[in-house]
Structure 1
């Protein structure tokens, strides 16, 4: 159950090279304009890098099923929270005008105490 899993050193180097290549791909995506696909591709690359780190460097690949269940549960929780966040963000109105009246009617300087009137309690 707690026996060490021996992973060939070659696997770590292969994963390291893959992570470097994926990082270079992420940096390259910053200079390529694909519109909305930039975010999708960059997030996909980040997901692949996260999976490689989890499986190989954190040894989830050799872990018990309970660890894998908690990993998947945490991942689903993050997806749920991001979904809630995006449902709020995408349903907001962003067409505010410059001269739209707001509830703020006074400048902040209106609430300043004149010099010498403030006494420390």
Structure 2
């Protein structure tokens, strides 16, 4: 049913003790569709997903938002800044989602930030 738990996601415990959060099909769908509409994803969009699929960003922001919009997703098996930059050329993505640590690693690799 739409209100039964479809996925149990463990939080990282950044601000408190880690918890298990039940996510429903209805909630996953609503969140992903909202993200897709908010950034105007279409079937023409291609996402490079460098987020792990045990993270809400990998599941909802990258994977489900793209799929519910009719777009496509390349799911990487991990993150490496050099490989990521190569994928930007070879895969022709129109977007990606990542946490600040990944954005910083890409910028440092590409020479966009001082290393100190």
Same fold (TM over 0.5): no
Higher helix share: 1
Larger Rg: 1
Query: Which structure has the higher relative contact order (CA within 8 Å, separation 6+)?
Result: 2
Structure with the larger strand share: 2
TM range (shorter): under 0.3
Scaled by the length of structure 1, the TM-score of the pair is 0.27
Normalised by the length of structure 2, the TM-score is 0.27
